[in-house]
């Protein structure tokens, strides 16, 4: 069902409710599954209408959908059972036990037995657990409170507990608007038309000489006769005619158009015939504002809400035990991350002095220490924080001869220009600069100190006031606006103009490109306070609305794109900061705390989907997005102008604020740790002077000033991923691994490779196993970090669980786990069809909530429930057979399936449908990895080739074959595995001959490491959870630990360190798995069927030490280094 059809159901529900068709309302709620009426549910439970309760629930979930659903049905049936016992109605109790409760026996047989034994008691309250059971009314009340919590936590009820905010009689309003449109199209419109039916289009019939009424004021549909009365229509004016349909997120803004619409928005009635545009412009489904981290479906999978497939994958949370008694549940947080004002960057850590007034700033989207600045003298600068070093470009027109006469004349009299806006492109390789005189510059940046000229565009007549990057039609473009009242869109690669949008009646002040449900649009604001919206179609403005106070306004979305905010200041100095309701085109909330009379235009920014900040009254002010009152503020130790320019970095741990003579960088605890870590990496004697430029913080922030740099970094790593250096420039790279020893002291020592050869030199644990020992083909930790899942070559899965207690919070080599099986004793065993599992290529993928595993061993793909081990479904029988599986990072129901025929199938589990097939490899697929930052899928094959696919349209973006080391030949079907670094930009490629680091999406090989031949081929390798280490297993049984940043071997673990001596048996690891939260723990799956967990000794805390970087210039790049485990380029 499409998004608009779904909204129509809500309108019908509202209509039925207003007309008092109560039974019909609840029947439609149940049958559509769109809205769960909690009040109706409460009434039924309170009244003990158990059959109706379960019938209503069946429209939304079934018993075996997930743990929450199971618990909901169990509590209801248990209460029904206890009430029958309480009434001494044994026959009914037995009937409930057999028909309703027996289904739970397969999940908890002991519990079912205990429930059955209640029949033998004269009073079930004699059971200790039920001794506090009161009367029926109080028991139902207690149970209802629990049920509400379970329903709110159940992913299947997500977005179904809140009825949309609608104006009264919204369906009648739409009908009235339709009739107005029909009346406008009449050949002979009457002044008082007589509407007698809705079954056919309206027509006034014969002419009567009168003119058509005003469509804005006349209501053709009055009170409709009906038993019980039909309430008269309110004062709802119709929409103006528009040439094409538009997204409802924009359409809502047209509900109250200007009395005189701009000509560009009206193309006459013929525009209504633009047929199927509406089919693709569907309303975005926005998650509740209290739950920014909640997953939600796109309109393409809208009918997922109907739960039409029995094997769809809900997003479950923690395991829910089935308890006999209603127990109090702790408050559950179902979404919003817990942030406090302490997470805000408010400590001043350094000051920059660009030499002129700062006009615009932007942090790099990936490398958070790269900071872009534009000044009032036209200078563009890139700082590498915390250093004062910078790349700089002064204002200069590159080709004066190509400029217009007006620009040449302006430059002849005054060869200066101020910068109005600087911005990084989404991938951080381009810099856009908007100047106060006609010009836009685009520079390319690839590290180091050089900004390279890319494009010079004379974009507007007069000042270019704003710019932003966007991706219409999957093509990187630059959107600009200016004093000439025009918005333009340019191809960022060629500089060719793509679109021109005209319609503003004042200089355009800002632009805000965005997209929802693949609909790309641009908001623009003008100095007269008008807001307009445009689709990329040259048709005209879709919105004509007034900003609060008719102010010069900037607009910005929250990081997840779900919430829209604006901030501005009008000519009288009144400022406003508001959140918009996109579907209504109205202000949703107005934030308090801005000054009554502001000097200059207030600038603002958003971060973490949680906070807003604005520069006002010589301070930076902060708000929680969900609270209109001011949260806190800081004056940044003084020196801020009245309305400072401000900018958060992507993670929200740094904040830049312009001062009267420069820039102050503010940080929170993580930001401080980040800057200190970078500083400690780049510190040496030659940099002592520049290091002193970083402002010293108060004692207690970094620690005493006498502490050597690098020694006070805390135990917790900053949430920033390490960057592989561009152009081999490692000086500014971030290494977030906690500093355990003073690096400057380490460098002074003679470094030696750590070699572990004895059991006593590390902690190792072979996991207990009572099942048949077969070669371990695949191995993974669960996302909780408490379990290890293995897939053996005989198609059987094994799951080991550590029991959580005060001492053990995650998997560890210091404590034995349990080889876990459900009480039924069944095993998760893949379909093997007619294939020999020993010859198959096993693969599996674990859902992000640890509830389901998708797996194959040469036969059909199986979907298993991790709690019950039951096979929920099988699909895709061979040929071809699946050889690799990967869940889409944003949608558990979309999986990428690599095949042994070299194709990749993008499959929707819910609808049992292959969305598309990707072809680009010559041999079977051996690896798949998604990047949610780049929106790409990278595939690898037995052909030693890497391919990059865009996940929006699934087109191939690039491909590259691995560079084989000289003198090394790959096996004909050697696996190539891929894994993204936690920065989601850099890619680890693993082949039997090498480890290589690539930069996506262009697949530039940044580093390559070739092992010694005596170690034998590489069997597998993975990043540690923080991407600081790479664990590599070899055919000789050894394991190498590399420093990921430099691809230098830091530790070698010999097989004697974890295997007992057995000369007659050649055992080695086939797979390596990294713990999801402990960077120094990994597990090995061996050829003899064993699984070993390894950790360094507690006294050591880590695997070896970083090899020194010669002369600070990065790793060796000579080809001869390969013989000694050194990296190559």
Which whole-number Å values give the CA distances from 173 to 178, 179, 204, 725, in the listed order?
A: 9, 10, 21, 59
pLDDT at 342: 76
Alpha-carbon gap, residue 322 to 317, rounded angstroms = 15
Which whole-number Å values give the CA distances from 268 to 185, 204, 273, 682, 1018, in the listed order?
A: 10, 20, 10, 65, 69
Stretch 538-546: mean pLDDT = 81
Q: Which residues neighbour 1117 within 8 Å (Cβ) at sequence distance 6 or greater?
A: 728, 1127, 1128, 1129
Min mean pLDDT across 666-675, 896-905, 1082-1091 is at: 666-675
For 208, counting Cβ atoms within 10 Å of its Cβ (0-12 exposed, 13-18 middle, 19+ buried), the class is exposed
pLDDT at 61: 92
On the question of pLDDT at 720 being above 70, the answer is no
pLDDT at 309: 36
pLDDT at 1090: 94
pLDDT digits (tens, 9 = 90+) for 79-120: 999 999 999 898 999 999 998 998 888 778 888 888 898 888
Alpha-carbon gap, residue 854 to 865, rounded angstroms = 9
The values of phi and psi at residue 1097, to 5°, are -60, 145
On the question of pLDDT at 496 being above 90, the answer is yes
Alpha-carbon gap, residue 401 to 411, rounded angstroms = 12
pLDDT at 1106: 84
Sheet holding 925-931, edge to edge: 925-931, 936-941, 945-950, 956-961
What is the reported pTM?
0.43
Average pLDDT, the chain: 79
On the question of pLDDT at 380 being above 80, the answer is yes
For Cα atoms 744, 748, 752, give the angle at the middle one, nearest 5 degrees.
110
Stretch 1076-1105: mean pLDDT = 93
Alpha-carbon gap, residue 300 to 280, rounded angstroms = 10
pLDDT at 901: 94
pLDDT at 329: 34
Other beta carbons within 10 Å of 262: 18
Other beta carbons within 10 Å of 319: 11
Stretch 120-139: mean pLDDT = 87
Min mean pLDDT across 368-377, 409-418, 957-966, 1113-1122 is at: 1113-1122
Residue 483's Cβ-side half-sphere holds a number of Cα atoms within 13 Å equal to: 11
pLDDT at 153: 87
Alpha-carbon gap, residue 891 to 492, rounded angstroms = 31
pLDDT at 204: 77
pLDDT at 191: 66
Q: Are 44 and 52 contacting, i.e. CB atoms less than 8 angstroms apart?
A: yes
Helix axes 50-57 and 38-46, enclosed angle (nearest 10):
150
b/e sequence 295-314, b meaning 16+ C-beta within 10 Å: eebbbbebbbbbbebebbbb
Min mean pLDDT across 3-17, 19-33, 279-293, 996-1010 is at: 279-293
Position with higher pLDDT, 912 vs 453 = 453
For Cα atoms 174, 179, 180, give the angle at the middle one, nearest 5 degrees.
95
Position with higher pLDDT, 265 vs 924 = 924
Stretch 670-675: mean pLDDT = 87
The residues with which 906 forms a beta bridge, in sequence order, are 896, 916
On the question of pLDDT at 339 being above 70, the answer is no
- Sorting pLDDT into bands at 50, 70 and 90, what band is 315? very low
pLDDT digits (tens, 9 = 90+) for 767-791: 999 888 889 999 999 999 999 999 9
Pick from 761, 786, 766, 763: nearest CA to 776: 766
- Sorting pLDDT into bands at 50, 70 and 90, what band is 682? low
pLDDT at 762: 94
User: What does DSSP say about strands 925-931 and 882-887: parallel, antiparallel, or unpaired?
Assistant: unpaired
Which whole-number Å values give the CA distances from 765 to 814, 819, 1081, 1084, in the listed order?
A: 7, 14, 11, 10
Of the chain, the percentage scoring pLDDT greater than 70 comes to 78
Min mean pLDDT across 731-735, 864-868, 1026-1030 is at: 731-735
Stretch 130-153: mean pLDDT = 90
Sheet holding 754-756, edge to edge: 754-756, 1048-1053, 1039-1043, 1029-1034, 1018-1023
pLDDT at 484: 95
Tokens 């009424």 belong to residue: 213
For Cα atoms 691, 695, 701, give the angle at the middle one, nearest 5 degrees.
105
Cis peptide before 291 (omega within 30 of 0): no
Alpha-carbon gap, residue 560 to 565, rounded angstroms = 13
Min mean pLDDT across 150-159, 795-804, 1080-1089 is at: 150-159
pLDDT at 837: 64
- Sorting pLDDT into bands at 50, 70 and 90, what band is 735? very low
Min mean pLDDT across 163-172, 459-468, 1055-1064 is at: 1055-1064
Min mean pLDDT across 286-295, 998-1007, 1051-1060 is at: 286-295
Helix axes 3-18 and 22-32, enclosed angle (nearest 10):
160
Pick from 645, 658, 687, 651: nearest CA to 672: 651
On the question of pLDDT at 2 being above 80, the answer is no
pLDDT digits (tens, 9 = 90+) for 742-771: 444 444 457 888 999 999 999 999 999 988
Alpha-carbon gap, residue 667 to 674, rounded angstroms = 9
pLDDT at 205: 65
pLDDT at 838: 67
On the question of pLDDT at 729 being above 80, the answer is no
Stretch 894-915: mean pLDDT = 91
On the question of pLDDT at 1013 being above 50, the answer is yes
pLDDT at 26: 93
Q: Are 495 and 478 contacting, i.e. CB atoms less than 8 angstroms apart?
A: no
Sheet holding 530-535, edge to edge: 508-516, 519-526, 530-535, 545-546
Position with higher pLDDT, 701 vs 980 = 980
- Sorting pLDDT into bands at 50, 70 and 90, what band is 924? very high
Stretch 1023-1041: mean pLDDT = 94
Distance of CA 898 to the CA centre of its chain: 24
Q: Which tokens go with 716? A: 């917790």
SS (H, E, C) 970-1002: CCCCCCEEEEECCCCCEEEEEECCEEEEEECCC
Cα Rg of the chain (Å, integer): 33
Q: Are 635 and 618 contacting, i.e. CB atoms less than 8 angstroms apart?
A: yes
pLDDT at 293: 33
pLDDT at 638: 92
- Sorting pLDDT into bands at 50, 70 and 90, what band is 693? very low
Position with higher pLDDT, 138 vs 1014 = 138
Min mean pLDDT across 58-67, 287-296, 486-495, 552-561 is at: 287-296
- Sorting pLDDT into bands at 50, 70 and 90, what band is 970? low
Q: Are 939 and 954 contacting, i.e. CB atoms less than 8 angstroms apart?
A: no
pLDDT at 510: 96
Pick from 172, 182, 181, 175: nearest CA to 232: 172
Q: What is the DSSP string of 186-253?
A: -SS--SS-----SSS-----S--SPPPPPTTT--S--PPP-TT--PPP-S-PPPPP-SS---HHHHGG
On the question of pLDDT at 227 being above 80, the answer is no
Stretch 868-880: mean pLDDT = 90
Q: Which tokens go with 83? A: 């009430």
For 62, counting Cβ atoms within 10 Å of its Cβ (0-12 exposed, 13-18 middle, 19+ buried), the class is middle
Pick from 412, 1093, 615, 1046: nearest CA to 808: 1093
Of the chain, the percentage scoring pLDDT greater than 90 comes to 48
On the question of pLDDT at 47 being above 50, the answer is yes
DSSP-based three-state secondary structure for 92: helix
- Sorting pLDDT into bands at 50, 70 and 90, what band is 835? low
- Sorting pLDDT into bands at 50, 70 and 90, what band is 862? very high
On the question of pLDDT at 490 being above 90, the answer is yes
For 1118, counting Cβ atoms within 10 Å of its Cβ (0-12 exposed, 13-18 middle, 19+ buried), the class is exposed
């Amino acid at each position: 069902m499409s998004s608009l059809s779904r909204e129509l159901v809500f309108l019908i529900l509202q209509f039925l409710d207003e007309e008092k068709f109560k039974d019909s309302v609840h029947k439609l709620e149940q049958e559509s599954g769109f809205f769960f009426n909690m009040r109706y549910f409460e009434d039924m439970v309170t009244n003990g209408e158990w059959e109706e309760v379960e019938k209503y629930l069946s429209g939304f979930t079934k018993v075996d959908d997930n743990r929450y659903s199971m618990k909901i049905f169990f509590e209801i049936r248990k209460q029904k059972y206890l009430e029958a016992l309480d009434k001494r109605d044994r026959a009914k109790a037995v009937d409930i036990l057999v028909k309703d409760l027996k289904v739970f026996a397969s999940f908890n047989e002991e519990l079912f037995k205990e429930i059955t034994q209640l029949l033998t008691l004269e009073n079930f309250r004699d059971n200790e657990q039920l001794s506090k059971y009161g009367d029926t009314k109080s028991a139902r009340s207690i149970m209802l409170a629990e049920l509400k919590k379970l329903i709110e936590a159940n992913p299947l009820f997500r977005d179904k507990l809140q009825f949309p905010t609608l104006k009264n009689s919204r369906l009648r309003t739409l009908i009235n608007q339709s009739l107005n449109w029909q009346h406008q199209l009449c050949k002979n419109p009457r002044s008082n038309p007589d509407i007698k039916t809705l079954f056919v289009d309206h027509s006034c019939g014969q002419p009567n000489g009168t003119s058509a009424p005003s469509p804005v004021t006349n209501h053709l549909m009055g009170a409709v006769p009906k038993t019980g009365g039909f309430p008269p229509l309110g004062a709802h004016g119709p929409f103006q005619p528009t040439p094409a349909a538009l997204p409802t997120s924009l359409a809502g803004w047209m509900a109250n158009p200007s009395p005189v619409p701009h000509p560009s928005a009206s193309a006459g009635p013929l525009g209504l015939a633009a047929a199927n545009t509406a089919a693709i412009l569907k309303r975005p489904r926005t998650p509740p504002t209290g739950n920014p981290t909640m997953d939600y479906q796109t309109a393409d999978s809208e009918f997922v809400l109907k739960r039409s497939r029995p094997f769809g994958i809900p997003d479950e949370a923690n395991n829910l035990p089935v308890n006999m008694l209603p127990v109090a549940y702790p408050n559950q947080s179902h979404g919003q991350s817990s942030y406090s004002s302490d997470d805000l960057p408010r400590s001043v850590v350094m000051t920059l002095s660009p030499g002129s007034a700062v006009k615009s700033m932007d942090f790099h989207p990936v490398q958070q220490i790269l900071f872009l600045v534009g000044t009032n003298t036209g200078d563009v600068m890139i700082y590498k924080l915390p250093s004062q070093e910078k790349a700089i470009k002064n204002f200069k027109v590159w080709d004066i001869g190509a400029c217009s006469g007006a620009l040449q004349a302006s430059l002849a009299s005054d060869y200066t220009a101020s910068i109005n806006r600087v911005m990084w492109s989404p991938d951080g390789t381009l810099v856009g600069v908007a100047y106060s005189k006609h010009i836009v510059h685009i520079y390319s940046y690839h590290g180091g100190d050089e900004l390279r000229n890319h494009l010079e565009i004379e974009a507007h007549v007069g000042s270019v006031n704003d710019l932003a990057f966007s991706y219409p039609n999957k093509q990187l473009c630059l959107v600009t606006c200016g004093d000439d009242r025009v918005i333009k869109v340019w191809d960022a690669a060629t500089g060719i103009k793509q679109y021109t949008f005209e319609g503003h009646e004042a200089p355009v002040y800002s632009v805000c490109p965005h997209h929802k449900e693949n609909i790309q649009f641009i908001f623009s604001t003008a100095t007269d306070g008008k807001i307009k919206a445009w689709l990329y179609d040259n048709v005209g403005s879709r919105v004509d609305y007034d900003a609060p106070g008719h102010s010069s306004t900037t607009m910005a979305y929250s990081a997840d794109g779900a919430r829209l905010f604006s901030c501005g200041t009008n000519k009288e100095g009144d400022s406003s900061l508001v959140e918009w309701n996109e579907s209504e085109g109205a202000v949703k909330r107005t934030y308090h705390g801005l000054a009554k009379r502001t000097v200059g235009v207030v600038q603002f920014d958003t971060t973490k989907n949680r906070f807003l900040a604005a520069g006002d009254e010589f301070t930076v002010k902060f708000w929680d997005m969900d609270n209109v009152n001011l949260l806190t503020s800081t004056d940044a130790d003084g020196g801020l102008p009245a309305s400072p320019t401000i900018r958060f970095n992507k993670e929200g741990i740094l904040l830049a604020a312009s001062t009267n003579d420069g820039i102050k960088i503010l940080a929170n605890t993580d930001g401080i740790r980040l800057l200190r870590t970078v500083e400690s990496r780049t510190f040496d004697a030659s940099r002592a002077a520049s290091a002193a430029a970083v402002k010293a913080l108060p004692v207690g922030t970094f620690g005493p000033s006498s502490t050597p740099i690098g020694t006070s970094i805390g135990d917790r790593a900053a949430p920033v991923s390490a960057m592989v250096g561009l152009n081999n420039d490692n000086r500014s790279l971030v290494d977030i691994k906690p500093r355990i020893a003073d690096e400057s002291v380490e460098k002074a020592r003679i470094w030696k490779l750590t070699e572990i050869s004895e059991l006593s030199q590390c902690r190792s644990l072979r996991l207990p196993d009572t099942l048949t020992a077969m070669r371990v083909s695949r191995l993974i930790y669960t996302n909780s970090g408490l379990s290890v899942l293995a897939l053996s070559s005989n198609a059987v899965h094994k799951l080991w669980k550590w029991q959580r207690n005060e001492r053990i919070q995650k998997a560890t080599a210091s404590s034995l786990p349990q080889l876990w099986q459900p009480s039924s004793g069944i095993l998760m065993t893949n379909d093997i069809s007619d294939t020999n599992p020993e010859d198959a290529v096993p693969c599996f993928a674990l859902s992000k909530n640890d509830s389901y595993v998708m797996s194959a061993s040469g036969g059909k793909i199986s979907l298993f429930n991790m709690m019950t081990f039951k096979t929920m479904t099988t699909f895709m029988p061979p040929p071809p057979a699946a050889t690799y599986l990967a869940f889409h990072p944003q949608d558990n129901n979309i999986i990428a399936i690599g095949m042994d025929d070299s194709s990749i199938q993008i499959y929707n589990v819910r609808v049992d449908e292959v969305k598309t097939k990707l072809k680009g490899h010559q041999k079977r697929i051996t690896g798949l990895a998604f990047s949610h930052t780049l929106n790409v899928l990278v595939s690898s094959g037995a052909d030693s080739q890497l391919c990059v696919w865009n996940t929006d349209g699934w087109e191939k973006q690039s491909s590259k074959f691995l560079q084989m080391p000289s003198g090394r030949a790959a096996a004909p079907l050697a696996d190539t595995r891929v894994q993204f670094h936690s920065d989601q930009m850099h890619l680890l490629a693993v082949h039997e001959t090498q480890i290589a680091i690539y930069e996506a999406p262009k697949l530039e090989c940044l580093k390559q490491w070739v092992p010694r031949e005596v170690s034998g081929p590489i069997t597998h390798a993975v990043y540690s959870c923080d991407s600081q280490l790479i664990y590599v297993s070899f055919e000789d049984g050894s394991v190498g630990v590399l420093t990921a940043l430099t691809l230098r071997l830091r530790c070698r673990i010999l097989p004697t360190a974890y295997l007992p001596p057995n000369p007659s048996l050649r055992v080695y690891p086939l797979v390596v798995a990294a713990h999801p939260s402990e960077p120094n723990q990994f597990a090995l799956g061996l050829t003899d069927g064993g699984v070993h967990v390894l950790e360094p000794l507690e006294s050591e805390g880590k695997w070896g030490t970083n090899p020194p970087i010669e002369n600070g210039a990065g790793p060796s790049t000579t080809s001869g280094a390969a013989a000694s485990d050194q990296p190559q380029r």
